[in-house]
Amino acid sequence: DAGVTQSPTHLIKTRGQHVTLRCSPISGHKSVSWYQQVLGQGPQFIFQYYEKEERGRGNFPDRFSARQFPNYSSELNVNALLLGDSALYLCASSREGDYNEQFFGPGTRLTVL
């Protein structure tokens, strides 16, 4: 089975722009979580979606939003990009409700200039 996939792999944007990152979970997984990992730090939790509903939100500004589609894929949107948004954005999926054992995708490396 294919693992969690994310697109794009790399992205370069300038301050003030908007970005959309995409994630496809493992087949059969209904929960998707998003994390931001700044170089040298551990991942920071942004959102968790289950069955198209937001079930958890980390301490991130409203510039960050996400949604989950009927096929359980997900998008993370970031508006008004700041230099500090440069990071690796990781998506993780897990089976219905069993979000403890998460499977991570390869991530999207976002650089904001």
Partner 1 sequence: EDKVVQSPLSLVVHEGDTVTLNCSYEVTNFRSLLWYKQEKKAPTFLFMLTSSGIEKKSGRLSSILDKKELFSILNITATQTGDSAVYLCAVEAGRNQFYFGTGTSLTVIP
CB of 102 to partner 1, least distance (A): 7
Distance (Å, whole) CA 57 – CA 66: 10
Nearer to partner 1, 84 or 100 (CB): 100
CB of 60 to partner 1, least distance (A): 13
Distances (CA, A) of 24 to 49, 63, 112: 13, 22, 24
Distances (CA, A) of 106 to 60, 90, 98: 22, 7, 21
Distance (Å, whole) CA 54 – CA 51: 8
Q: Is 106 in the site for partner 1 (CB under 8 A)?
A: yes
Q: Which of 60, 65, 73, 88 binds partner 1 (CB under 8 A)?
A: 88
Residues 12 to 71: which contact partner 1 by CB under 8 A? 33, 35, 40-45, 48, 55-56, 58
85 and 96 Cβ atoms separated by less than 8 Å: no
User: What is the binding site for partner 1 (CB under 8 A)?
Assistant: 3-4, 33, 35, 40-45, 48, 55-56, 58, 88, 90, 99-107
